[in-house]
A and B are shown apart, each in its own frame.
Chain A
Amino acid sequence: MAKARVVVIRSGSVWSPAGGPDPAVAARMFARGFSLVTGEEDGPAAAAALFRPDDRIGIKINTIGGRAISTRPETALALAAWISRNGLLAKNLFVWDRTTRELRDAGYALSAGRSEVRVFGTDAAGVGYGADLVSHLGVGSLFSKIQTEFATASISLAILKDHGLAGVTAGLKNYFGAIHNPNKYHEGRCDPFIAEVFDAPPVKSRHRLTILDALVVQYHRGPSYHARWAEKFAGFVFSLDPVAADAVGWTIIERLRAAAGLPTLSEEGRAPSYLATAEKMGLGRADPAEIETVEETVA
């Protein structure tokens, strides 16, 4: 069986002199990432490899960390713009998270126009959670209607962070923001709950792509922001394999921790065990030997 492919795209120019990500550079990074994960050279073909033209794509971001350590608006909107330039309608793209408050705190302007990419939270008027409780393995949750009704396909555009309980929070755990009761699933280092939420039909049936936003990586004392342990890694991690993406994210965190002279997550007793669980459940590859990592730099 072929190895799971994970693509790491970095750019020394993605951080603009003004301090934020440069959307144009981010767009080039997305173009290269899509190309390498799909094997399609041109943008429309790469997009078509993942989405139908009429798909409504939910881009699930992570804004719990506020402006300092959230998926940046420049990043999420650059991704949406790239997708819309390559065959999908802008009005069928939405950038979303749990609440309006968190989106605003992370710097997002909420949109209302029908012809543009929309940005909104599950608590927006007319949205909310589905009425039916989803009982799946050890999880019993209501899922955001954005995930269950609005979207036909989803991208997990997650921040890559150290997590005090889970070890690592990345693409899989990002979907905790799609359920109404994530606080109930942090026991036991979030294992097996991270895998089980992803495995639930509303997520698994729609998820198409993981992109880890590693422009800034919180490699210690996460998930809260601590400047002392945050590194401008200036990269994105792409994979069609959601488990492999997070496994590579873990290696990035370990790399940064080692450089800072910190013990490994295993040594701290909080290795992300949910990755092995996810692999056992057939959600992807966690074993580094089964993962092909491709790293490139974009100007």
Chain B
Amino acid sequence: MNRRGFLRGAAGAGLALGAGLPALGARLRGFGAGPNLSRVEARYYVKLPDREIECRLCPRLCRLGDKERGYCGVRENIGGTYYTLVYGKVCALNVDPIEKKPFFHVLPGTTALSLATAGCNVNCKFCQNWEISQARPEQVEAFDLAPEEAAARAAASGCPSIAYTYTEPTVYFEYMVDTAVRAKKRGIRNIVVTGGHISPEPLAELLGVVDAVKVDLKGFTEEFYAAYVRGALKPVLETIRAVARSKVWLEIVVLVIPTLNDRMDLIRDMVRWIRDEAGEGVPVHFTRFQPMYLVKNLPPTPVSTLEAARRIALEEGLRYVYVGNVPGHESENTYCPGCGKVAIARAGYAIEALRLKKGKCESCGTPIPGIWA
């Protein structure tokens, strides 16, 4: 397939795929062609003696000798200079409903040009996109898509936003920021789907150019993060706190996995923390786990568990709490905290009714926070 065919096919495939994986790149490359790697100097690292470097992009602070790569697998020390190998090297590109990210309080009913490069700075045992997130860039099929081209592509596809998603956008930070700047000039918004493992300084730069961030809060203990995410909870909480204090819109997703992170006392601790640190108006999505990657021995999350988590969150004062990955569930809807009526009715990724006027409930006029236009 040539590049144009790739882009055309990818752009059309997202809607048809529904909840599935990205249309392209969701498999390891068959090899044969030469690796398509960039060599763009990374922005957050320090040079050390003897051609060593320390990466400062994420809390791992990988210290690397010459020819070594970081945990993410997409940044390499070449002779004492640190490079991103995935700048503009897109391995997944789709036009997705924004609800799929999920963002429920950002431009409902619109589509987002959704893209990714290979790589991730954690290794969740339940990753749904592991074939691209846990791969090195040589191992996935990638096409060149310069920042300006991505912005133009979004405009041409009628997408009012670009979503940096599927893998971990932090690992393609430079590309994401440059693309966001160009998209912004075209009036296109930028939304980020992240696990939250990013250092404060690059996060601050990112928050200066994007409009919304969805953070996956994968659990609420360090033990869970160490065992199942191969990361740490603390920096994720710091990221959530920083986004909440910025002007950037924040939503939080909690994937609830049977027996691993579904203790209701911990869910209560979590939602209290969210309420106190991020605010009661932050949308929280409790989403359903499906067995995959390295966790295939557990069943899908019972809907009753998600409902119980939602109930606790509402009890603790959160206003917008959703149940996810359960198409048709009544808790996909946005309920006005003022009158209790449905302000946004959803069915899967489709918007059935949008009863907002200038960000306020049509019925009672209560403001509902979000990015609505």
Contacts and interface: CB of A to CB of B under 8 A. Distances in A.
Given A184-B71, A187-B230, A223 B31 contact: no
B125 A183 contact: no
A133 interface: yes
B37 to A, nearest CB: 9
B31 A225 contact: no
B63 interface: yes
A223 B65 contact: yes
A30 B138 CA distance: 35
Contacts of B125: 140
B31 A224 contact: no
A135 interface: yes
A140 B73 CA distance: 15
A283 to B, nearest CB: 22
Determine the main DSSP class of B at the interface with A.
Answer: loop
A123 B35 contact: yes
A127 B31 contact: yes
Interface residues of B, number: 30
B28 A128 contact: yes
Nearest to B138: A123
Interface in B16-42: 28-32, 35
Given A125-B32, A126-B32, A128-B31, A180 B67 contact: no
B67 A66 contact: yes
Given A99-B138, A140-B293, A183-B72, A129 B28 contact: yes
A73 B169 CA distance: 39
A184 B28 contact: no
A127 B139 CA distance: 12
B136 A181 contact: yes
Interface residues of A, number: 30
Determine the main DSSP class of A at the interface with B.
Answer: loop
Contacts of B138: 99, 123
Interface string A118-158: 00001111111100010100001010000000000000000
Interface in B280-300: 293-294
B70 interface: yes
Contacts of B136: 180-181, 183
A142 B191 CA distance: 32
A187 B229 CA distance: 13
A183 B28 contact: no
A140 B294 contact: yes
Contacts of B65: 164, 221-224
B227 to A, nearest CB: 9
Nearest to B127: A140
B197 interface: no
B166 to A, nearest CB: 17
B294 A135 contact: yes
B135 A181 contact: yes
Contact of B31 (A125, A142, A226): A125
8 contacts: A101-B35, A125-B31, A133-B293, A133-B294, A181-B73, A183-B136, A223-B65, A224-B66
Interface of B: 28-32, 35, 50-52, 63, 65-73, 123, 125, 130, 134-136, 138-139, 230, 293-294
